[in-house]
A = this chain, B = another copy of it.
Amino acid sequence: MAFDPQSLRFNAQGLIPAIAQQDGTGEVLMMAWMNAEAVTKTLESGRVTYWSRSRKSFWVKGETSGHVQELVEMRVDCDRDCLLLIVRQTGPACHTNRRSCFYTAVQSGEEVEILTPID
């Protein structure tokens, strides 16, 4: 069946959450948002493109930093309201220069840093 971005379920702002996971290692790198056009751009270009809610514009991941995400595969969940992007991440995914945005963890009630910035 041909994939139609319009078959996805977007929220009231026309957005769908997209989780980026590194191919091979399975690291969960980040979660950001896409609109239908960002989904199309990502599939057509093979370069992961989000919708920046703060800047209200397309956000080609790594366009300025060089920390690009090459799309390996886009997956859809059962409710069609979340995407999983299998990617090849160049360098850190996080703007703090860490590999993953998920860099603190709750351990015995304390929040601790589990990833440090890449040199």
A119 within 8 A of B: no
Residues in chain B near residue A104, CB distance under 8 A:
75-76
User: Which of B43, B94, B102, B107 sits near A84, CB closer than 8 Å?
Assistant: B102
Q: Is the CB of A31 within 8 A of B17?
A: yes
A interface, size bucket: 35 or more
| Chain A residues within 8 Å of B, Cβ to Cβ | 1-3, 17, 19, 21, 25-28, 30-31, 43, 73-79, 82, 84, 94-96, 98, 101-107, 109-111, 114
Query: Given A19-B31, A21-B28, A84-B28: A95 and B110 within 8 A (CB)?
Result: no
Residue of B with least CB distance to A73: B105
